[in-house]
Amino acid sequence: MKQSALRNSAPPRNASRFVAYVATITVAAVGVLLVSLPGGFPSSLPAAFWCFAAFAILADTPWFVQAGPDDVMPAFPSVCFTFAVMLAFGFAPAVLVQLGAVAVAAVWLKHAAWRAAFNAGQYVLSFAAAAALFDVVLPDQRADVHTILDGGMPVLWIVVVGGCWFLVNNLLVSTAVWLRFGGRWPAVFKTALGNDALPTGALLLSAPGLVATAYVDVLLVPLALVPLFAVRRMTKLSLQRARAARLDPLTGLGNRKALERAVANWVPEHAERAEGGADDRRLALLLLDLDGFKQVNEALGHRVGDRLLEEVAGRLTGAAGAGLVGRLGGDEFAVVVPHLRDTLQAREHAAGMLAALAEPVLLDGLPIDVGGSVGVAVYPEHGGDFEELLQHADVAMYDAKARGDNLAVYAPESDHNTPERLSLLADLRRALESPEGTGIELYYQPQVELATGAVVGLEALLRWRHPVRGPVDPEELIKVAEHSSVMRLLTLRIVDEVINQLAAWGPAADGVRVAVNVSVRDLHTGEIADRIAARLRETAVDSSRLELEITESALMADPRRVLATLARLERLGVAIALDDFGTGYSSMLHLRRLPLAEVKIDRSFVLGLATDPDDAAIVRSMIDLARALGLRVVAEGVENERTWRLLVEAGCDLAQGWYFARPMPPAQLIEWLARRNRSTVAHSA
């Protein structure tokens, strides 16, 4: 029986009731012993009894019992020998031997006195119930092993008596666990039955075989220890494998399974108590993503990167207190922190994690700065299980990056993952994973050089026709994808298609560059730079014909990672454009730091250029600033001739908008370019 669920160190949820229960069981057991022992012990006992008694005590030593995780014990092997004693010799001899085994186990397991007393009490009452039933259904058939061999003791009744012992034992222990740790009693009892039915049932049902073996030859009884020892070894190996399956092999921290288990063990108990108004405590899941880890790997090698992760793991463990620290993979860590008062305390724990990483890590004499962003999700406000909490902590973490902060608590308004959008996201993933890319295509909108009227660039714009919903709004599509791993698939698909399209157009679009929008996630690793370099080599497309558009928020999400990726792209010869210029937080700083070739004035300013003096002043200032820094200027959203002429007067380089052309699919665009070129030639003539 897994009585070790009553861990010594855990504080009782209702101390007075639990103590009263343990005292009641102990007193009841003492009363049963006082009544049953006098006159209940046979005047003489054969060698079989002493053999069973010796092996019962030996079986509960470390050679045959394996402690499990969190001090969870399998069924104690002594039960098979003591139940055999009860079948053959009665209640009093059986319970005395069992008490001896309990005392031995309590010493080597270092049980508290109250726990040893309870364990003794539960066994006394379990044997008392089984012995009473035995005397009712099989009177006068004990103490003669011939009755077992001759069929005088039906196996069915032995099973019934063993079932009585098992049921009473589980009732006693389940009630103690319920009083100590809370939860719903039926659920606790059901769990105990499920966990103990096989190991305890096997031990109880082996008892008649031991009795029969002793009748044949008492010297055969020691052979029963061989399978018990083998089971102990297998249990040990199983527990080691189970423990390894919950640990990260590099850092020794818990992995995703361990974190999920911690939440799963905590939530049901406190959900039940919260419903009754008895518990207002919170559990927080903190998700941490390191800054600049990829650059450490690339510059110093993976061995140094691994040592950095080990150092980070140690610091986080020291800062976590009672929290469970785990590594989800790569440079992502998570901490499960229970027993919090409120969300503010969860935020304080997250700040403590960041503070633990404030000092540089010294590796091979080189100080390495380690920082990161933390997202916080709190049970029950932000989720009812591990998956939901992790998803919302991830949303909070990227919300922090987008705001240029390093810590954020989940806020529903920052989450785009409604059920409808999640369904849409699943459909988008399936479309991207299919070879045909069902319904996904790119349209291209021309960018016109204002001084000459020549088409010098195109912007690739995503379009998706959902098989059921029809055309999906591009802005909604990006919002759905950008906070998930689907964004990576989408970006790589777009990059591949744009480069392939440039190769396919050949002379028909000679000298025209294509701009592709990329998201925050795309710039966190060097994968996009690797993909572009490989595709340009395969297709022999000139890198100057490709341009990537980023937003200011992308840089603020993780400046060091983004700058490293942009530097690689610049070395490839791929131009970088700053999109939505003027809508960010620190445009002047970005203009100075980024390897930019172009800025794009947001359409919100361009649309009011002809009618709003303030917008006109802002646009002219942006153009002057960009030109002073040697950057091209593109105006978005040009929809009429008046706006076009004002942009020409202001010295803007390029423009795009419906005044020139709407976005078009590739074939239509080539036809449009051909017509425009013929018109330009005719006009020149």
Q: Is 178 helix (H, G, I), strand (E, B) or coil?
A: helix
Which helix (H) or strand (E) is 373 found in, with range? strand 372-379
Tell me, what's the pLDDT at 436? Answer: 66
What is the spatial distance between Cα 399 and Cα 468, in angstroms, rounded to a whole number? 31
Tell me, what's the pLDDT at 7? Answer: 41
Amino acid at 535: R
Looking at mean pLDDT, say which of 423-427, 470-474, 517-521, 546-550 comes out highest.
546-550
Tell me, what's the pLDDT at 25? Answer: 93
For the segment 572-609, what is each residue's pLDDT rounded down to a tens digit?
Answer: 999 999 887 766 554 565 667 778 899 999 888 898 89
Looking at mean pLDDT, say which of 31-45, 91-105, 391-405 comes out highest.
91-105
For the segment 180-238, what is each residue's pLDDT rounded down to a tens digit?
Answer: 776 678 877 887 787 777 778 778 888 888 888 887 777 777 777 666 666 656 656 65
> Does residue 456 have a pLDDT over 70?
yes
Mean confidence (pLDDT) of the chain? 81
Q: Poorest-confidence range of 69-73, 276-280, 358-362?
A: 69-73
Q: Is 442 helix (H, G, I), strand (E, B) or coil?
A: strand
> Does residue 273 have a pLDDT over 70?
no
What is the spatial distance between Cα 45 and Cα 366, in angstroms, rounded to a whole number? 76
What is the spatial distance between Cα 478 and Cα 462, in angstroms, rounded to a whole number? 9
Of 683, 601, 681, the residue nearest 647 (C-alpha): 601
Tell me, what's the pLDDT at 501? Answer: 94
Looking from the CA of 682 toward its CB, the CA atoms found within 13 Å total 6
All domains of the chain in start order, with CATH: 3-245 (1.10.1760), 256-414 (3.30.70.270), 420-680 (3.20.20.450)
Q: What is the mean pLDDT of residues 58-79?
A: 63
Looking at mean pLDDT, say which of 58-67, 193-202, 265-274 comes out highest.
193-202
Tell me, what's the pLDDT at 376? Answer: 93
Q: What is the mean pLDDT of residues 373-383?
A: 89
What is the spatial distance between Cα 291 and Cα 387, in angstroms, rounded to a whole number? 24
Q: What is the mean pLDDT of residues 605-632?
A: 90
Tell me, what's the pLDDT at 558? Answer: 56
Q: What is the mean pLDDT of residues 510-528?
A: 84
Tell me, what's the pLDDT at 8? Answer: 39
Q: Poorest-confidence range of 27-36, 183-192, 217-226, 505-514?
A: 217-226
Looking from the CA of 75 toward its CB, the CA atoms found within 13 Å total 25
Q: Where are the beta strands (DSSP E) in 430-476?
A: 440-449, 455-466, 470-471
> Does residue 286 have a pLDDT over 90?
yes
Tell me, what's the pLDDT at 72? Answer: 42
> Does residue 162 have a pLDDT over 70?
yes
Q: What is the mean pLDDT of residues 294-301?
A: 75
Q: What is the mean pLDDT of residues 79-98?
A: 89
